[in-house]
Amino acid sequence: MPALWIAHVTVTDADAYGKYAELAGPAIAKHGGEFIARGGRFVQLEGKERPRNVVARFPSVEAAETCYHSDEYQAALDHARGASERELVIVEITE
């Protein structure tokens, strides 16, 4: 079953986070992920508002989780740590 990788982000250091974004995109694509929403318009109805929201679709929960733990994505994530506050969840699509 396909899965969504959903990140809610507040960027605190734009330069460092830009480096994360530059490296994360290819790592996500390498694992079959494709972005379907990146920082677009949103309406916060509940919970903590984060100004940046990103959604990527993956072939499966396992593919998304493998991406997260991959060397390529972890290298990208090194730039996001300390440069952002974020939550990330992987959700299986039950069609």
Q: How far apart are CA 60 and CA 80, in angstroms?
A: 24
Task: Enumerate the domain spans of the chain.
Answer: 3-92
Q: How far apart are CA 80 and CA 9, in angstroms?
A: 10
Instruction: Please tell me the pTM assigned to this model.
Output: 0.91
Fold that domain 3-92 belongs to in CATH? Alpha-Beta Plaits (3.30.70)
pLDDT tens track for 13-38: 999 999 999 999 999 999 999 999 99
Neighbours of 46 (CB within 10 A): 5
Q: How far apart are CA 29 and CA 91, in angstroms?
A: 18
pLDDT tens track for 36-87: 999 899 999 999 999 999 999 999 999 999 999 999 999 999 999 999 999 9
Bridge partners of 35, per DSSP, are 56
